[in-house]
Amino acid sequence: MINYKDICLKVVQLSQTTGRNLKAQRNQQAPEAESKGKNDFVTQFDKDTEAKLIDALSQLIPNSGFIAEENTSDKKGVTHNWIIDPIDGTTNFIHGLFPWCISIALMENEEMVVGVVYEAGLDECFYAWKEGGAYLNHKKIVVSERPTVADSLIATGFPYTNFNLMDQFIESLHFFMKNSHGMRRLGSAAADLAYVACGRLDAFYEYDLKPWDVAAGALIIQEAGGKISDFSGGDNYLFGREIIASNSLVYDEFHTKVSRFLK
User: Cα(39)–Cα(124) distance, rounded to whole angstroms?
Assistant: 27
User: Cα(230)–Cα(232) distance, rounded to whole angstroms?
Assistant: 5
- Using DSSP bridges, classify how beta strands 65-68 and 80-88 pair: parallel, antiparallel or unpaired: parallel
User: Cα(184)–Cα(177) distance, rounded to whole angstroms?
Assistant: 10
Distance of CA 149 to the CA centre of its chain: 22
Integer Rg of the chain from CA: 17
| Catalytic one of 50, 69, 124, 242 | 69
How many helices (H) and strands (E) are present in the chain, helices listed first?
Answer: 7, 14
| CB atoms inside a 10 Å sphere around CB 238 | 23
| Catalytic one of 46, 85, 230, 242 | 85
Residue 254 backbone dihedrals phi, psi, to 5 degrees? -65, -45
| Catalytic one of 90, 104, 202, 223 | 90
Residue 82 backbone dihedrals phi, psi, to 5 degrees? -85, 140
| Catalytic one of 50, 70, 88, 242 | 88
| Catalytic one of 46, 119, 213, 230 | 213
How open is the CA angle 63-85-205, to the nearest 5 degrees? 125
Is residue 69 part of the annotated active site? The answer reads yes
> Which element (helix H / strand E) includes 94?
helix 90-95
The region that residue 176 occupies, defined by phi over 0 for left and psi between -120 and 50 for alpha, beta otherwise, is alpha
Is residue 88 part of the annotated active site? The answer reads yes
The answer to whether the beta carbons of residues 13 and 126 sit under 8 Å apart is: no
Is residue 90 part of the annotated active site? The answer reads yes
| Catalytic one of 83, 87, 94, 243 | 87
AA letter at 54: I
Please give the positions annotated as active site: 69, 85, 87-88, 90, 213
